[in-house]
Amino acid sequence: MFHIITNNRLQLLSARTVKKILKYVFGAAIILAGINHFIKPAFYLKMMPPVLPAPLFLIYLSGFFQIALGVLLLIPRFTRYAAWGIIALLIAVYPANIYMAMNTSLFPEYNPTLIYLRLPLQFVMIAWAFWHTKSAE
């Protein structure tokens, strides 16, 4: 149980309620990240390993799937499938995070420590998505 205080009264939130709230937070974050692929593609172009073909297309494709999967995550009927899709997507884009960490000089506007922290953060996000592959909310 989780506790919150409203109107000077202590109320309990069930684990199920907390999971539901966090699902909406996660879905919104995934959707916003996907939208950002269309707003700032130049940032993502720098992250793309040069061995990948059609980098701009891949950026838009991954942005599209982030938006679609984020929306589907919020629809109870599709939550489990969307969570698995998000896991696959997070694994698919991980090489870009590795490339970014190996080439921090391409991102002078960011502290290298923050760039390195993206690597383990990806696993936290995978775990967060995996949490939603379990039984219905």
Instruction: Supply the range of the domain harboring residue 114.
Output: 20-131
Domain count, the chain: 1
User: Does residue 11 surpass a pLDDT of 90?
Assistant: no
Reported as a single tens digit per residue, the pLDDT across 30-88 is 999 999 999 999 999 999 999 999 999 999 999 999 999 999 999 999 999 999 999 99
Question: Could you tell me if residue 85 is inside a domain?
Answer: yes
**pLDDT category, 102, cuts 50, 70, 90?**
very high
Question: Could you tell me if residue 47 is inside a domain?
Answer: yes
Strand pairing report for 2-6 and 9-13: antiparallel
10 Å Cβ neighbour count for 52? 12
Question: Could you tell me if residue 2 is inside a domain?
Answer: no
CA proximity to 128, closest of 2, 36, 18: 18
Question: Could you tell me if residue 96 is inside a domain?
Answer: yes
CB 30 within 8 A of CB 86: yes
Question: Could you tell me if residue 73 is inside a domain?
Answer: yes
The model's pTM is 0.86
- Span between the terminal Cα atoms of the chain, in Å: 16
Question: Could you tell me if residue 13 is inside a domain?
Answer: no
Question: Could you tell me if residue 41 is inside a domain?
Answer: yes
Question: Could you tell me if residue 11 is inside a domain?
Answer: no
